[in-house]
Amino acid sequence: MQIIDFDAKFTDVLNDWIEKNRSRFRKPDDMENEVPDVYLRWLNTPADWLDGATPGTYFEKFESAAELCELLKAYLNEEVSVPDPLLDRLEELGDEQELLNLVKDKAAPMEARMTAIEILRALESTLPMVDYIRWQVERNDDEDLLDNALESLRQMGEAVRKPAKIAFTAADVNGKEAILDILADYPGDEDVFQFALHQFMNCKEKRGLYAGYLAKLDDDRALEHLLDVAEGDDVSYSDFIEIRSAIERLGSEAPVKDWSNDPTFKAFRRLQNI
């Protein structure tokens, strides 16, 4: 399987163009603004190193998504930049099953699996739904991969609600927390609300996170608890910001507090003044 470094080939062309055109530009930004046009012309120019094919169409000869997935893995294993036209062709073929096979292949480079998730998301595929939900419950894969899958679940819309709730019921605390990120978009479930409220009250280190979920769940029974914490002396400034936002979203007003001596508040103000 031939690995061709498309990025290196374009870099050669770009460097040559810069040398030939440097005098035309008064500012570096003006030159940078033309680079996308240089790239587009390069994509559409026949290349002898591709036997006359253009870089933009080279991968169109591949009809098998499985073969392209293997090629994607080979590029990453060789530590060569994956050509954009290869990824474009994978999306164009739209073989959801082969992409899902790659996502589930724990022997594949992590970047390949992440890329397959992103292509499936671009295809608006719901095929991985059950696998992605199960992963949130089992929590035995890379956190970045799980977060990427979670983003796809969020984008699947209403269809994910029922299977996510079934998984939520069976999950441990960590799994429930992950799935809550989806279910918080669908207020009205008592089990989900009670879990979010319990976690807010009992997980001091995650108050800000659960305050955000309570705001989305839109149940004003949470107000009393949010206000109690907001008025207390042991709430951090960063958590207070999230809690205040939740209180306001639920239709009330948070207490006014003096944070002038809080280190996080001071750092935040310094950033604002930069």
What is the reported pTM? 0.86
Enter the tokens of residue 188: 């009205």
Residue-level pLDDT at 273: 63
Contact 101, 73 (CB under 8 A): no
DSSP character string of 106-168? TTS-HHHHHHHHHHHHHTT--TTHHHHHHHHHH--S-HHHHHHHHHHHHHTGGGGHHHHHHHH
Contact 121, 91 (CB under 8 A): no
Residue-level pLDDT at 274: 54
Distance of CA 254 to the CA centre of its chain: 32
pLDDT tens readout for residues 195-224: 999 999 999 999 999 999 999 999 999 999
pLDDT tens readout for residues 87-139: 999 999 999 999 999 999 999 999 999 999 999 999 999 999 999 999 999 98
Query: What's the angle, vertex CA 260, arms to CA 259 and CA 264, rounded to 5?
Result: 65
159 Cβ contact list (under 8 Å, min separation 6): 126, 129
